[in-house]
């Protein structure tokens, strides 16, 4: 140690210890601590389905602005056409359209239309259909969305009449005639009325008898108990000019029931997707709960 170093040590000017080289053996308190990972940032904003729902709402409302403050000429039906690129894209649209909660999207759309002074008639219809290849001819089109608008100013072809009879099971009436000029939808269920999960009272138009209803026949109505109080709905499609079956919550597998359509060519179609329209043709047999069979016929 030279003279200068001795002077530095005397007055306390000692050099700081240099970190040991890698592999030289660090003491426990000198061990390098790992850098904690930063939490991944969560993207802000609403989820994709909510954004898509808002996009669809804006599209429909924008195309119906011509009916603002014109209740006498407002549409009696609108049909949304969606061009999906794949099944994942279609599933996202189903979530956006609240497919598992029939009627919810239509109710919210009606509310937003009213906010824009677009008033639709009481029994207006809303339908949606998915397409994989290309969109059909529509009144309006924007990107992968198309919209068919049915209003009173367009000439309507003759409305179709149909009837429902029971092949297996007991209905309150021997047959029910469906007249779309009087009403576009016909609810099917056991008993006259029931209360839905939302609290609304549902009135059935096609009634399967309860075992405590007047006129119930234990032999004819042996399978009626398999039918839900809110099982299905037959709706007249103003755009396609045909009747279709929609399955209500009580008629879905999640509700403990099954609904099928047996076509005249003996092919069987399972109706198990909420909010989806299953077109009906004359001679179709509608199976409810695996026990009751109704016959649909055009008149």
| Number of domains the chain is built from | 2
Return the pLDDT at 113. 95
136 falls within a domain: yes
Q: What is the pLDDT of residues 218-229, one digit of tens each?
A: 999 999 999 999
Four-CA torsion 78, 82, 88, 93, nearest 10 degrees: -30
User: 22 pLDDT exceeds 50?
Assistant: no
The percent of residues in the chain predicted with pLDDT above 90, rounded, is 46
Q: Span 44-69, mean pLDDT?
A: 88
User: 17 pLDDT exceeds 60?
Assistant: no
199 falls within a domain: yes
> 290 and 176 in one domain?
yes
Return the pLDDT at 293. 97
User: 199 pLDDT exceeds 80?
Assistant: no
How sure is the predictor about 39, in pLDDT bands with cuts at 50, 70 and 90? low
Cα–Cα distances (Å) from 73 to 62, 66, 149, 154, in that order, read 17, 10, 12, 10
> 282 and 171 in one domain?
yes
Beta carbons within 8 Å of 88's beta carbon, 6+ residues apart: none
11 falls within a domain: no
User: Can you tell me whether residue 115 is helix, strand or coil?
Assistant: helix
Q: Span 261-289, mean pLDDT?
A: 92
User: 23 pLDDT exceeds 50?
Assistant: no
Return the pLDDT at 155. 46
Query: Domain boundary at 105, 120, 151, which?
Result: 151
Return the pLDDT at 153. 55
Distance CA 37, CA 149 (A): 54
Burial of 27 (0-12, 13-18, 19+ CB in 10 A): exposed
Q: Span 149-178, mean pLDDT?
A: 82
The model scores a pTM over 0.75: no
User: 237 pLDDT exceeds 50?
Assistant: yes
Return the pLDDT at 4. 61
User: 186 pLDDT exceeds 90?
Assistant: yes
143 falls within a domain: yes
> 165 and 147 in one domain?
no
165 has which bridge partners?
Answer: 175, 295
Q: Span 100-129, mean pLDDT?
A: 89
- What is the domain range of residue 267? 161-298
User: 250 pLDDT exceeds 60?
Assistant: yes
Selected residue with higher pLDDT from 4 and 30: 4
């Amino acid at each position: 140690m030279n003279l200068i170093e001795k002077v530095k040590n005397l007055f306390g000017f000692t050099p700081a210890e240099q970190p040991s080289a890698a592999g030289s053996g660090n003491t426990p308190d000198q061990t390098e601590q790992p850098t904690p990972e930063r939490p991944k940032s969560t993207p802000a904003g609403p989820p994709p389905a909510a954004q898509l729902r808002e996009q669809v709402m804006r599209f429909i409302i924008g195309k119906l602005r011509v009916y603002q403050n014109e209740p006498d000429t407002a549409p009696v039906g609108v049909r949304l056409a969606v061009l999906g690129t794949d099944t994942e894209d279609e599933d996202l649209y189903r979530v956006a359209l609240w497919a598992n909660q029939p009627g919810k999207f239509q109710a919210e759309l009606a509310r937003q239309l009213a906010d824009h002074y677009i008033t639709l008639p009481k029994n207006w219809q809303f339908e949606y259909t998915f397409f994989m290849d290309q969109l059909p001819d529509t009144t309006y089109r924007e990107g992968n969305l198309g919209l068919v608008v049915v209003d009173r100013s367009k000439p309507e072809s003759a409305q179709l009449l149909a009837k429902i009879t029971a092949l297996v099971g007991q209905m309150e009436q021997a047959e029910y005639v469906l007249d779309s000029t009087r009403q576009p939808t016909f609810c099917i269920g056991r008993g006259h009325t029931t209360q839905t999960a939302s609290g609304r009272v549902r009135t059935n138009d096609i009634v399967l008898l309860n075992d405590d209803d007047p006129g119930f026949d234990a032999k004819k109505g042996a399978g009626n108990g398999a039918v839900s109080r809110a099982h299905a709905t037959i709706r007249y499609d103003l755009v396609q000019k045909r009747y279709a079956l929609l399955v209500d919550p009580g008629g879905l597998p999640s509700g403990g029931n099954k609904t099928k359509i047996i076509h005249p060519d003996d092919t069987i179609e399972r109706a198990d997707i909420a909010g989806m329209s299953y077109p009906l043709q004359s001679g179709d047999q509608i199976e409810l709960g695996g026990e009751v069979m109704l016959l649909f016929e055009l008149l």
